[in-house]
Structure 1
Amino acid sequence: MSGLRIELGPLGARLRPRVALAATGLALLAFAGLVASVSLGTYAIPVPDVLGALLGTGSGDADLIVRELRLPRALTALLVGTAFGVAGAVYQAVTRNPLASPDLIGISAGAGAGAVGAILVGGATAAGAGSFGAVPFGALAGALATAAVIYLLAYRGGTVTGYRFVLVGIAANGALAALTRWMLAKADIDQASRAMVWLTGSVNGRGYEHVRWAGLALLVLVPLTLALARPYQLLQFDDDTARGLGIPLHRARIGLLVLATCLAALATAAAGPVAFIALGAPQIARRLAGTAGVPLVLSGLTGAALLLLADLAGRLVFSPVELPVGIITGAVGAPYLLLLLARANRSGQGG
């Protein structure tokens, strides 16, 4: 089956049944994870009572737990996972390398260094409602500066190869991690402790201010990314093919990378540098869809489902001890990264 052709203004897409089925399944999985995150915990709340709390007709305890504690945490996980999934898809598609992920090539590390600087210099706390506003700006500045340096260092002979981009990014990742450790070593012990908890990657204690920031990032940046759907698709071919089809290669690549960097930075500001989601979600989505390229929307849905389920596992599996979501995703991501490296070496992309 060739699929259904959908036209929306100047944009067009062919919706394949397998892609539609995968999108539906992932959306349902993310919704189930959201409901479970709000319902389950040390104090379990039945789903009807959750709905009552959301509608304002529940009991006082249920209202407090659902609306003030669990719902903003679950929404933050949903939005952050979506942002990381889309950002990872753009990086992997534009560089044509499955290892090009914001958390691996230094973008998340740059966002982390900028956010830690905001926390230490401005006295902000990652989870504090009154001081969180400084963190996204620090993270955004750090991520954009890092992406610019990586791109300039990887740019040779009028183009940027995915292999060179990843190598430069890994080097930048190490340098930025060292910078962050140096800032923590120089900081006051209380501020350093707050920053260390944030650097682990967690959605615990997140409030509606985090939901607003992450939601605003998606509301603005995802439509802009989708507007570049044609360059996104064509950049996954070789440069000569993309150029021959009329794509302004340099501008399209920079535009997409800037949007992906902003998504990764604001997601990092909300939840810390959570590992694996941006790396794994696009490749999982590609296998579910059965496409040669990296599907953008499916990557976002996969990221949302993965982060929600990882946070739920961190809360419940070792209860009453609660593990930050970054530990769960890192534990899953390490063997997955080794698998990707092995596949890249077999295909000649690993150097």
Structure 2
Amino acid sequence: MIFLINKYLNFKIFTFISFRILFSLLTSFFINLFIGPYIISCFKKLQKFQIIRTDGPIGHLNKNNTPTMGGVFIIISICLSTLLYCNLNNTYIWYVLAIILGYGLIGLLDDYKKIKFNNSTGLKILYKFFWLSIIAILIIYLIYSKKENSASIELIIPFYTSIPLKINYFYIFLSYFVIVGTSNGVNLTDGLDGLAIMPIILISFGFGLIAFFSSDINLCNYINVSYSEQSNELSVLCGAIIGSGLGFLWFNTYPAQIFMGDVGSLSLGGALGIISLLLHQELLLLIMGGVFVFETLSVILQILYFKIRKKRIFKMAPIHHHYEIKGLSEPLITIRFWIISFILLLIGMLSLRIHNGI
């Protein structure tokens, strides 16, 4: 949209990427501030409340009257801001939007079933994974069908070398696990007020910086970033995610007025996954998204250990519930996880230059 305005008004400043990143962030932030109270009020009237697990921490039982599906206004603000400020001729933008909308729809159906049947089950796990997989596979196919040499795919290894690793068609399988895995990792982490949204904001900031510099081939070689003419436009979209995340946190910080629900967690996790693929920074996502990895592993370990030994490693999984049951307050756990996420972001950014001695 901004390019169409520039075509008639000839205000070149509108097309500067730094301008578009800033206004994309601010626009999505203020959209959430504006529509957030209306959506919260609407969901309360429709009684779209969070379904609380009866076997969870006792303190969560008082959240039964908190609306869910707040991811709806996250998606709205990201999409509107992206359509306003991004170059819509850029295919990378449409890949990310497709994941956000597709995964958002699956999450919406999941949330709807939980509310309708008044349980925390939602969609059947196999059914949900099937549709998450279908969307991921379609997007991956579109991405790699357009590459001139899809048999040689680059994988940048943090802390190691400026020469990317060629992993051939295995990269397609890796791409699938990155998108679906990150989506579910965010979903598992979203269990406390404000817990998941801050790591999303921080990771988006890191990817936004990488995308901003990725169209400069000299700078890419210097900081171990994959060069692409299209990828710098992702920095504008990352700005939209950051702004939307901050706007949502306005209402989601403790005590939360609304939860993002699966519609928000699945779509935002999928967005981070696809952005990492387009930037060739899948392993960097593993570092910066360490909180999501930690939460996911806690669930996997809990299930495996219980099946083998009939005992539990943690008092409850995901692990943030373990700390709750041990007596730590919800805000304390959340803030500490935010601090860890910030440290992981710094480590991830450092890894881009460590191989050259800086």
Both structures adopt the same fold (TM-score exceeding 0.5): no
TM-score, normalised via structure 1 length? 0.35
TM-score, normalised via structure 2 length? 0.35
